[in-house]
Structure 1
Amino acid sequence: MPGPLFRPLPRPQAERTLFCLSFCGGGTAPFRAWADALPEDTELVLYCYPGREGCYSVPFARTWEQLVGGALAALAGIAARPYVLAGHSMGAWVAFDLAVRAARAGIAPPRGLVVSAAGPPDHPGDRDEPPHTRNTDEELLDWMFTVGQVADAVRDEPELRRMAVEVLRADLQAVEAYRYRPGELVGVPLQLLRGEDDDVDEEDLERWRRLTTGPFEATLLPGGHFYTPEVWSRLPGHMSVLHPVKPGGAPSRSS
């Protein structure tokens, strides 16, 4: 998997692209199965952050500008055909910032934006809550195991634990430097996906709503930060931009 873009199921003749951004400390692997959940007219393209998988030899992005700058350059290479941006957790903020920056960079805007398992960037909440760079390695590992970000088998592998913490810390350093620039909005349909057990805040729904001048939809799904395994494996099926639903801004409930 050389380079930052990975296509699990190449579809060069597809009419559109689902461009996905991973969570803090994550790679492309958790998203690859989504290719089979997409209609044939949609190609899944996954962005790999520096320092892992096909970009293992590339130094970690240590600032938000480095992190988003690399993703923006990659986006420019796939934006010739219609695309939807989707990001999970930290990736939701990356996707939002990419949608904002696209116009300034002369890149066609996305047809829609899906933000999953993330609070709004203009109200980040308590930055001292885990995960944070000030947490110990064990605290970060405990958090990753609790939310289901890494498999339990990693507990017995010191080298895998070390690598998981190293990647997470690098991404945390970048995301903790992110500051929303007041007044920046997107003008495309925005859908928020949240797990019912993932500390859902009704005020967060309204804050996300105010960050777009386009249609807004909030969808609650079973499970926690990564939903349930069944929901995660077919999450694109809940993305209304890919599967248009009856318009309306009220939160919906799916199972």
Structure 2
Amino acid sequence: MSTTTAQGHATPHDDTSIIRPLRRDSAERVLVCFGFCGGGTAPYRPWASLLPDDLDLALICYPGREGRFLEGQVDSWDALAADAAALTRQVAERPYLLFGHSMGGWMAYDVATRLQDQGVRVAESVIISSCNAPYASVRERDKFPAQNDTDEQLMAWMRNFGALPDYVLEDPDLTAMALDLMRADIKVRDSFHCDDTKTLLSPLTVLLGETDEVIEDNAEVRWAEVAAAGFSARHLPGGHFYTPEVWSVLPRYFPWDAEQGGSVA
């Protein structure tokens, strides 16, 4: 399995740390996706059929879940971001795009700025979904769900927002594991901190749900402040995970042509 050295570089990965459903080794570019709080790579795998032919798909699996279960979960944002950045470096030899939903949006921003600092080629595009702009640390409105939520409240959140598959809800053991993972991710998310003066050297696209109560009113303005190479925003139907119909085809709203911007219909 993949491990991260003291310098923040991962050892050669296997199929448990970077999931590549398409295996397009000759593709010109690669889309790198980061998971949301309590989630894994599964919600992104069906998107493989929607990607352009010249694009590969790389799903970053965080420690402590799926094939990396035996590694144990990390306990801080810095550790998680260092692991994600080190894995992303391994697929950044060809042009790449970064995508993150909710907590994964902060991860996409953090990984992008870390790789910039390390002199790695910058991403063709950074795509942020359902995520408030980064401040120096986590604010109260971003602590949703919260560490002091009951198991019942967390289950309701995962059920209502569509983050928990039906087969997990029907299995008490899997449900318990999902709750443990969610609580661990909430702890890591709440330790998020960054230098919010750092700007992205990649074009930035922000997607937001029209009825998402988690997102602040000035989210677009705040994200635009960290975008040094172009910015666009789009509001989509639904809440934090949009509507099921929108979520199932979300890559259709990604700007595949970074120079022209826009999205595919």
Count residues with an aligned counterpart: 250
Q: CA deviation at 1:59?
A: 0.9
| Alpha carbons of structure 1 residues 247 and 233: separation in structure 2 relative to 1, 3 Å | closer
Give deviations 1:78-109, integer Å, cap 9, x for gaps.
11100000001110000100011102223211
Partner residue of 1:56 out of 55, 69, 80: 69
What CA distance in whole angstroms lies between the structure 1 residues aligned with 2:79 and 2:143?
Answer: 24
**Contact 2:76–2:187 (8 Å) recurs in 1:** yes
**Could you say which residue in structure 2 is the equivalent of 1:216?**
231
8 Å CA contact 1:2–1:55 kept in 2: the answer is no
**2:25 aligned residue:** 12
Report the counterpart of residue 126 of structure 2 in structure 1.
113
- Looking at structure 2, the residues matched to 65 and 125 of structure 1 have their Cα atoms a distance apart, in angstroms, of 17
* C-alpha distance in 2 between matches for 1:160 and 1:197: 30
Q: 2:179 is matched with which residue?
A: 165
8 Å contact from structure 2 (residues 143, 190) kept in 1: no
Q: Give me the whole-angstrom Cα distance separating, in 1, the residues matched to 2:24 and 2:241.
A: 27
Equivalent-residue separation in structure 1 for 2:142 and 2:23 (angstroms): 41
1:231 aligns with 2:246: yes
Q: Which residue of 1 aligns with 2:7?
A: none
When normalised by structure 2's length, the TM-score is 0.87
Which of the residues 195, 202, 208 maps onto 1:181?
A: 195
In the alignment, the residues of structure 2 paired with residue 103 and residue 43 of structure 1 have an alpha-carbon distance, to the nearest angstrom, of 22
Q: For the residues of structure 2 that align with 1:64 and 1:90, how far apart are their CA atoms?
A: 11
> Given the superposition, is the C-alpha separation of residues 95 and 128 from structure 1 closer, same or farther in structure 2, using an over 3 Å criterion?
closer
Counterparts in 2 of 1:204 and 1:128: CA distance versus 1, 3 Å: closer
Residue 82 (structure 2) pairs with residue 69 (structure 1): yes
RMSD: 2.2
Please give the alpha-carbon distance, in whole angstroms, between the structure 1 residues aligned to 2:186 and 2:134.
Answer: 15
Sort the Cα spacing of 1:98 and 1:244 in 2 relative to 1 into closer, same or farther, 3 A: closer
Query: Equivalent of 1:201, from 216, 233, 238?
Result: 216
Distance 1:22 1:137, change over 3 A: same
Q: Give the letter aligned to residue 22 of structure 1.
A: G
> Which aligned pairs between 1:132-143 and structure 2 lie closer than 5 A?
132-143=146-157
Give the gaps of 5 or more residues in structure 2.
1-13
Contact 2:134 2:196 in 1 (8 A): no
Letter in 1 for 2:52: P
Checking the alignment, whether the CA contact within 8 Å between 2:16 and 2:66 is kept in structure 1 is: no
Q: TM-score, normalised by structure 1?
A: 0.91
Tell me if 1:26 matches 2:53. Answer: no
Distance 1:27 1:15 in 2: 26
Q: Post-superposition shift, 1:197?
A: 1.8
User: Could you tell me how far 1:153 is from its partner in structure 2?
Assistant: 5.2
| 192, 214, 219: which one aligns with 2:206 | 192
- Farther off after superposition, 28-37 or 194-203: 194-203
Q: Deviations over 1:10-49 (max 9, x none)?
A: 1011000100001011111110111110111000110001
Look up the match of 1:39. 52
Please list the CA deviations of residues 33-69 of structure 1 after superposition, one character each: whole Å capped at 9, or x if unmatched: 1111011100011000111111111110111111011
> Among the aligned pairs, what percent are the same residue?
40
Unaligned runs of 5+ in 1: none
Matches within 5 A, 1:115-134: 115-122=128-135, 124-127=138-141, 129-134=143-148
Matched residue SS, 1:19? strand
Contact 1:89 1:116 in 2 (8 A): yes
Corresponding residue for residue 101 of structure 1: 114
